Structure 1
């Protein structure tokens, strides 16, 4: 069996989409399309440039009392000098198709942590030939390194965000490249997995790593025998919290009261909390589940609502890794739990609800290796790409911004009911209970005049009712479990595959990567202001129609208030070939900074205002491997209104939008190009910003199984070189003079 690839629609629903709703284009939201003159006259406002915390008092005078005249105030001290503006200080890296990692002169990139590396004493070095004992994989690095966070740690083993030499590096392992995990790829006979040990490896290789890392001299390493090292994977027990916990929707044979489940998977982007825990996000999880006897056979046992939910989330009859097909099953149903068929008399006799136990944001306390992760259901169930924490202000609610990574899906935010109290720093999972289990979940609608609305996903509002003809919502748990259907009902804006979110610490602007889309997902007549392009980006002789290069939208909640119900937006940056026409290369990219398919994205904490962009590209790979770019974005509204002319070769239409200022090479430069067939994803920095951790995911993943016997045919041999099988790995990048990375 040939392993599926990212370009195979059967592999990931992000390439297919499951949104049949008639939600935006903007033309559907606005009763009549605004004229160009009207649109241009509206302009784009900007958000406040800082969040202010103020306290003060007032007084008054009673009748008959003379006012008290205060002495004249002392002269105000001169204002502090503004900080020097950031400046990118490296020569751009050229595009490359070589099987190496390329960084600018003056920088060193070292491999820190690779697929299979041991993280416990006594575990042997990884052979990298598919023969390592499957029972050891729960103490080895997982595959497909992805989103990650560096948690600085002091000598008392407590969180110390500024620590520059020691910390816990926590990272996601999104998926697997099966070809290289077993001696000859996956063993599949007649559509059935026949080697249970292969599946055991795969169970362990998904999930999350927690590893202790240390700096010695100028180099970094991970501590193999650290007591903090931990793997969280598909067999790790987890509890539910929030509105869906202990409801009928989550009851299974494993958890008859719906309070817990096993495992997490397809963990792509990530997030953090201000109390010092890690958030891992379950992205395209639906494809792992199946109805083994087929959909038609199971449909007769399902309600209309269940069938609607299956369709909207993409749970089908075939499982992505065929885990449910292994026989005989174990006593605790390690394989059978991936089969969502109705097999017993009730939900507690089978795993008909197994798919409902995935698709959540999961909180992990890296400083407490014995703690049980929690799936925070108040943040909704969908293809979570990440959960980016917004500005943290004492006395204000906390906010997390989230993308749903599939074409034509939505952008969400969650706002806590409780206001932030800095005394909760270090509060662990109890703090999560306080802030993440009670709040308001919203979805974004982008309007054509450069403004937008946050639509609450709550029973009884925005069409989310028991009388809804598309899906009759029963209760609060039903809303969060079927958040996509609730967002459809509310009228959210379909986006060009929303992925990572990032918040600029200088001004609170929120950035969202929209990786790409195609002509079938967004035809030329369905472009809108926030998704404004349709074009043909030829790859050799092959057409690539739609928006194959993607773009980045940004917005700011009104009055810099995370609880605001309205926002303003523009398009910060458009991916394109530098040689493309002006209506495609809208951001005027040059050979030093052109890119395609933005995905990973993260703002530096040590250098506020420095943005890192990563690509997951298949459209531009005829010219270059995936890359990492450094950016110095301005602010919302620094560009202006624009009309883009789109064509599909037959039809030509114009689209009004708002665009950011073209960055030039002073504002955007290519910093790193990865090895062949990889994705750049996951980024973090040490407390002082002088070490940058970057993940290289799935180099060589499209090597056919038939070529496994001939190493010369491997697409990549990175990072080991020679004839080695390729491995996902974490890099640590340092500047040779010890300075801040990129500046």
Structure 2
């Protein structure tokens, strides 16, 4: 029986069992100590939120004349740019359509099944497209994406032609097939159904161009149009390349694997490539082993799989690999290590369609939500951040060993360096803890864990080498003493101040029996609304190992307040209530865009996207999606006049009322006067 038969929530990509049983300090306890012992009302339910002590972070000042927020902090310095939000806020909505501000227009673009390459097979509304068709069509469940100007490699910044690259996180089997997922009398899946499901995952690279009338379309026949799927051959790079825990029948030397799965957010690199994140990949694998290795236990790989791909009728090697049960021979005779080749950031060069995607193991193996790069500096290391999107997991930072030089920069910079994990202290300071066996403090903690013989509930006898540390990143972070967080998802770096922002989406287990309880200073029972945290690196140097943090905003209903030094900095109103912040992106003008993936119950209704001014904390709702969707993935053209927003898992028959199947799609948003989005 598949896991989704046992728990209907299992098909939700946010479903992940709590597998962190370490005793590391949870973030809510840190926040409790960080907060002053006074409360403000949260909406009409009478719950209370504690207030945050001010840190004086750069960009935190400013007066707002907006009625949607209250800001009483000091006026920012004159040289700090002010980011206006020049649109009228959009009300919440229950309509099965896109809502944008007055003076803006929207249209659906590149829905699931759109032919983009090969023989360009047409989408069939009856669900009878084959697996081979899907390998040539836009995948399902659009997520993170980026627009690469077509002339980027030549130093240009075209806003009328480029490569739109997007992730496809997971699938809706009921919509994908004519009659949903099926099984034969022996309990096996039809082979072509499995092939089609694997093909609907991954990444799409689409060459698009705007005509003289402003209409965007696919450049048919372009060599750049490409599908990367759950079956595409890929290279393993970095410290785990060639490590024996990645040996498989397909790649006996541990240098290659097939496919990328559950790609949520992403990250464009400073050298013009695309990093796709592998998030809840664990659910695609199953094992019948009585004892599971720690690489599987710490991630939740167990006796069931999400889609039962290992049960394909023809039992081809491409499908049985999802059963990671050890055979009687060695690791090169089976796929016991296949799951160890997933959980990474995957680099794709959209301008080189013949290149193999690269799994960058130095960035760690966990439930990557995405990756965000700090601004690069010539001759300095590359720095990037990533969140592990699961309850009670961590936030990480990677600092390259080699310096960045624009003329020669490439993915090799991500193969050598130090991976850190964050610890948030009670006094508003923080530390980056290195996960490196050459670091004396970390080595001492590892030695103590060996003496103890257990980490959390997992038996522990040490790490073989640095590759072992990275394959077991979560376990290494447990040992280092990182701060557990409430589902860290997308990150963003303010291009003006250098501050780093992360969404902490929610944690429904907070306060439940058996989990960390609430207290007077942090009374968010079963934290279902989330918040956004931010920090400044010491000396505004992103390679620093210390930082200062605060809370940018608490999500919630009307009246939810974020308080700094006794002053209400944000008080949510009808214009900006939101819950479960997920997607996060700074546009080229310094506006912060916040996307949600939360409850669609009142008062929030359909999921949405809001814009924020990081200096004043003014927040306005800009966009509301159709019924049942997650609003995820956002980018604009360099001139900021065309915005692309992704809609994932809509209900009903959006975007085409005549189509019986819902179709994930990208939405193009423009201003009717051809102006800058959000201004």
TM-score tier by shorter-chain length is 0.7 to 0.9
Other-structure match for 1:8: 9
Other-structure match for 1:559: 539
Q: Does the 8 A contact of 2:577 with 2:604 survive in 1?
A: no
How far, CA to CA, are the matches of 1:593 and 1:312 in structure 2? 38
C-alpha RMSD of the superposition = 3.0
How far, CA to CA, are the matches of 2:298 and 2:14 in structure 1? 11
Other-structure match for 2:73: none
How far, CA to CA, are the matches of 1:507 and 1:234 in structure 2? 38
Superposed, 1:719-730 pairs within 5 Å as 719-730=655-666
Other-structure match for 2:82: 85
In the superposition, relative to structure 1, how do residues 83 and 286 fare at CA in structure 2: closer, same or farther (>3 Å)?
closer
Q: Larger deviation: 456-465 or 16-25?
A: 456-465
How far, CA to CA, are the matches of 1:33 and 1:161 in structure 2? 49
| SS in structure 2 of the partner of residue 546 of structure 1 | coil
Q: Does the 8 A contact of 1:238 with 1:262 survive in 2?
A: yes
Deviation at 1:194, TM superposition (A): 2.5
In the superposition, relative to structure 1, how do residues 121 and 236 fare at CA in structure 2: closer, same or farther (>3 Å)?
closer
How far, CA to CA, are the matches of 1:524 and 1:589 in structure 2? 32
Other-structure match for 1:142: 139
Superposed, 1:619-630 pairs within 5 Å as 620=601, 623-630=604-611
Superposed, 1:694-733 pairs within 5 Å as 694-700=645-651, 716-733=652-669
Other-structure match for 2:436: 458
Q: Give the counterpart of 2:230 among 234, 241, 265.
A: 234
In the superposition, relative to structure 1, how do residues 620 and 495 fare at CA in structure 2: closer, same or farther (>3 Å)?
farther
2:372 paired with 1:436: no
Report Cα offsets for 1:70-115 as digits up to 9, x if no partner.
xxxxxxxxxxx95863211111111011100111111111112110
Other-structure match for 2:299: 313
Deviation at 1:415, TM superposition (A): 0.5
Report Cα offsets for 1:253-303 as digits up to 9, x if no partner.
000000000000100000021111110010000000001xx3xxx125x5x
| SS in structure 2 of the partner of residue 8 of structure 1 | helix
Other-structure match for 2:179: 184
Other-structure match for 1:676: 627
Superposed, 1:658-673 pairs within 5 Å as 663=617, 667-673=618-624
2:572 paired with 1:589: yes
Superposed, 1:241-280 pairs within 5 Å as 241-280=237-276
Q: Does the 8 A contact of 2:274 with 2:348 survive in 1?
A: yes
Ranked by relative contact order (alpha carbons within 8 Å, sequence separation 6 or more), the top structure is: 2
Deviation at 1:381, TM superposition (A): 0.0
How far, CA to CA, are the matches of 1:610 and 1:11 in structure 2? 30
Report Cα offsets for 1:283-338 as digits up to 9, x if no partner.
000000001xx3xxx125x5xxx1x33221110100011111223312xx111100
2:189 paired with 1:207: no
2:37 paired with 1:46: no
How far, CA to CA, are the matches of 2:168 and 2:223 in structure 1? 20
How far, CA to CA, are the matches of 2:7 and 2:598 in structure 1? 10
Q: Give the counterpart of 2:640 among 686, 689, 692.
A: 689
| SS in structure 1 of the partner of residue 98 of structure 2 | coil
How far, CA to CA, are the matches of 1:441 and 1:532 in structure 2? 33
In the superposition, relative to structure 1, how do residues 521 and 697 fare at CA in structure 2: closer, same or farther (>3 Å)?
farther
How far, CA to CA, are the matches of 2:389 and 2:397 in structure 1? 14
How far, CA to CA, are the matches of 2:673 and 2:419 in structure 1? 46
How far, CA to CA, are the matches of 2:328 and 2:275 in structure 1? 35
Q: Does the 8 A contact of 2:310 with 2:321 survive in 1?
A: yes
Deviation at 1:534, TM superposition (A): 3.6
Q: Larger deviation: 348-357 or 84-93?
A: 84-93
- Which 5+ residue runs of structure 2 have no aligned equivalent? 39-49, 61-77, 455-459
What is the TM-score normalised by the length of structure 2?
A: 0.88
Deviation at 1:191, TM superposition (A): 9.2
Other-structure match for 1:502: 492
How far, CA to CA, are the matches of 1:318 and 1:346 in structure 2? 23
Superposed, 1:280-295 pairs within 5 Å as 280-291=276-287, 294=288
How far, CA to CA, are the matches of 1:85 and 1:592 in structure 2? 20
Deviation at 1:587, TM superposition (A): 3.6
In the superposition, relative to structure 1, how do residues 415 and 522 fare at CA in structure 2: closer, same or farther (>3 Å)?
farther
In the superposition, relative to structure 1, how do residues 6 and 505 fare at CA in structure 2: closer, same or farther (>3 Å)?
farther
Q: Does the 8 A contact of 1:159 with 1:276 survive in 2?
A: no
Deviation at 1:127, TM superposition (A): 1.1
Other-structure match for 2:309: 323
How far, CA to CA, are the matches of 1:125 and 1:158 in structure 2? 32
Other-structure match for 1:196: 191
Deviation at 1:130, TM superposition (A): 1.0
Other-structure match for 1:61: none
How far, CA to CA, are the matches of 1:407 and 1:191 in structure 2? 37
Deviation at 1:563, TM superposition (A): 1.4
- Larger CA Rg, structure 1 vs 2: 1
How far, CA to CA, are the matches of 1:410 and 1:373 in structure 2? 26
What is the TM-score normalised by the length of structure 1?
A: 0.80
In the superposition, relative to structure 1, how do residues 522 and 610 fare at CA in structure 2: closer, same or farther (>3 Å)?
farther
